[in-house]
């Protein structure tokens, strides 16, 4: 059987190619020049889509199933509240803090709020912020091309392509979490990707304390539940649901953006990669599922640009501006949106 290489890197022009050592500019919006080489979309194999769906849905069903199965003795309103409050704090710490504020500088805020978002993101347990931002900026520099740290269409193992069974499974695993585990031993190019963030003493300090904050995020719900229930069982269950299960959930949701949102959904804007707008992830990932829009306009603080594209992270950023906690919120103009729309009249 002849195997057709479905996504040979050479057919995917690296988006906004840069010289090897050129420093990443987080404030530059990607511009697709009129005469850029035409983008050849990757044909996503049906098998990759199916396995991606199973891999993403199964852990989510397991968490909800465990909640339902233990309701009344191992789970209840207190633990449900702790789970959601910690999901909101650490999830928004990633989406608003790590992603929209530090990686993309999409709005301005005070030093106290900068510290708050850095700490909230650290508690998610996805690594220290400088490293997270460096990998993510690299993702934007090379999205779905060979040097993308977590494209489901490439994995660095042996060059096996998604047209084979092993290849697409590896691609999915790599995009979902394999890249994260692999990169635990690897360092991103800090000087190239985050020189601006490394100049900020506050961010460097929080990055150095990140393990401490992970433990605070795990133990605080346990202590709160222990005080409320006046029991050691409460401490344990608070730690379990508000800490461990919540961390698993936030990891899973964040990683799903990397895999699902480069496989499933609509391409609303021209972005020269396989990023997609996915309504389910739009809600679960607190607005990050409008990922094609995000790749088209990375510096925008708002990812769901349509009124019906719910984007909780943007709602929070916008609400904070009403009380003077955020400012200079970047959102692309209607003209810029129209210029990149895939539905543009020919």
Closest to Zn ion by CB, 275 vs 293, is: 275
Contact 42, 7 (CB under 8 A): yes
* Shortest distance (Å) from residue 79 CB to Zn ion: 32
Tally Cβ neighbours within 10 Å of residue 133.
28
Q: State the number of binding residues for Zn ion (CB under 5 A).
A: 1
Give the 3-state secondary structure of residue 48. helix
Closest to Zn ion by CB, 67 vs 270, is: 270
Residue nearest to Zn ion (CB): 275
Closest to Zn ion by CB, 122 vs 275, is: 275
Binding mask 107-126 for Zn ion (x = CB under 5 A): --------------------
* Shortest distance (Å) from residue 292 CB to Zn ion: 9
Residue of 288, 311, 284, 290 lying closest to 61 (CA atoms) = 284
Ranges assigned E (strand) in the chain:
108-109, 326-327
- Facing residues of 326 across strands? 109
* Shortest distance (Å) from residue 264 CB to Zn ion: 13
Closest to Zn ion by CB, 13 vs 76, is: 13
Tokens representing 4 are: 């057709």
Q: What does the chain come to in residues?
A: 346
* Shortest distance (Å) from residue 257 CB to Zn ion: 7
* Shortest distance (Å) from residue 303 CB to Zn ion: 9
Residue of 97, 140, 68 lying closest to 250 (CA atoms) = 97
* Shortest distance (Å) from residue 177 CB to Zn ion: 15
The residues near 152 (Cβ < 8 Å, ≥ 6 apart) are 48, 52, 162, 171, 172, 174, 175, 176, 258, 259, 262, 263
Cα Rg of the chain, angstroms: 20
**Which residues in the 254-283 window bind Zn ion by CB under 5 A?**
275
Closest to Zn ion by CB, 221 vs 287, is: 287
Closest to Zn ion by CB, 206 vs 263, is: 263
Backbone angles phi, psi at 296, to 5 degrees: -75, -35
The residues near 120 (Cβ < 8 Å, ≥ 6 apart) are 89, 90, 92, 93, 97
Is the sign of the CA dihedral 74, 77, 82, 83 positive or negative?
A: positive
Closest to Zn ion by CB, 15 vs 75, is: 15
* Shortest distance (Å) from residue 328 CB to Zn ion: 18
* Shortest distance (Å) from residue 103 CB to Zn ion: 6
Closest to Zn ion by CB, 104 vs 170, is: 104
The residues near 344 (Cβ < 8 Å, ≥ 6 apart) are 338
Question: What is the contact surface with Zn ion in residues (CB under 5 A)?
Answer: 275
């Amino acid at each position: 059987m002849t195997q057709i290489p479905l996504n040979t890197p050479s057919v995917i022009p690296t988006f906004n190619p840069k010289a090897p050592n050129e420093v990443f500019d987080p404030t530059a919006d990607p511009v697709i020049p009129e005469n850029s080489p035409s983008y050849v979309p990757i044909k996503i194999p049906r098998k990759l889509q199916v396995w991606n769906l199973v891999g993403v849905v199964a852990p989510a069903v397991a968490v909800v199933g465990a909640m339902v199965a233990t309701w009344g003795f191992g789970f209840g309103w207190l633990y449900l509240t702790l789970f959601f409050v910690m999901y909101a704090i650490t999830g928004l710490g990633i989406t608003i803090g790590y992603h929209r504020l530090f990686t993309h500088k999409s709005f301005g805020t005070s030093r106290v709020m900068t510290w708050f978002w850095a700490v909230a993101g650290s508690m998610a347990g996805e690594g220290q912020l400088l490293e997270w931002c460096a990998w993510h900026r690299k993702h934007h520099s090379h999205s779905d091309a060979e040097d993308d740290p977590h494209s489901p269409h490439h994995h660095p193992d042996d060059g096996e392509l998604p047209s084979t069974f092993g290849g697409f499974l590896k691609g999915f695993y790599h995009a979902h979490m394999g890249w994260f585990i692999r990169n635990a031993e690897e360092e991103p190019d800090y000087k190239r990707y985050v020189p601006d963030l490394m100049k900020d003493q506050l961010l460097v300090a929080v990055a150095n304390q990140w393990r401490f904050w992970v433990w605070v995020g795990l133990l605080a719900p346990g202590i709160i539940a222990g005080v409320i229930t006046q029991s050691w069982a409460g401490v344990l269950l608070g730690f379990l649901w508000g800490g461990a299960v919540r961390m698993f959930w936030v990891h899973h949701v964040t990683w799903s953006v990397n895999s699902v949102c480069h496989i499933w959904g609509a391409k609303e804007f021209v972005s020269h990669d396989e990023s997609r707008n996915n309504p389910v992830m739009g809600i679960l990932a607190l607005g990050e599922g409008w990922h094609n829009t995000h790749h088209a306009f990375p510096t925008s603080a708002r990812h769901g640009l349509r009124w019906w594209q719910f984007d909780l992270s943007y709602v929070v950023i916008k609400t904070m501006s009403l009380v003077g906690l955020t400012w200079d919120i970047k959102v692309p103009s209607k003209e810029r949106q129209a210029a990149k729309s895939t539905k543009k009249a020919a």
